[in-house]
Amino acid sequence: MQKGANGEPQLKGQIGSEQVTLTIDTGQEGSLALQSSAWEQFVPADSVTITGQSLVGDNSVLTSRQTWIESLELAGETFTKVATSERRVPESWGHGSIGMGILKNYPFILNARAGAFWIAPSTNGGDGDTCD
């Protein structure tokens, strides 16, 4: 695990074959949120998308897209068919954020002060991984 410019807990991983930096956001109900520029980089142009609107923290309306990413690798785990949304997130958050939509399915420990993140192995095997 690393820390962003403002101390945000972040993980490096891969979407498909490309490197990605994501902030861990335990207050986010969704699985994966990407900034608009990251959406253009990681989501294939021919992906099936849904466009909608949502109310964001500053009470403004954000029009965004949603789709599914084929493969996301983080903390020694590979996630497939990941629900992904286009969101406005702080620039210091890297490409976007990973939320409870994924994390709720795995026992995990996040110690932001110590700079450590641990996720338990999935039920399909593996040993889990520590990201520090």
CATH of the domain at 35: 2.40.70.10
pTM above 0.75, yes or no: yes
Residue 29: inside a domain, yes or no? Answer: yes
Q: How many domains does the chain have?
A: 1
Q: Which domain holds residue 74?
A: 2-105
First and final CA of the chain: distance in angstroms? Answer: 4
Residue-wise pLDDT for 11-68, tens only, equals 999 998 899 999 999 889 889 999 999 999 999 999 999 998 877 778 888 788 999 9
Q: Which residues pair with 23 in a beta bridge?
A: 10, 97
Residue 123 predicted with pLDDT over 80:
no
By CB neighbour count within 10 A (0-12 exposed, 13-18 middle, 19+ buried), where does 45 fall? exposed
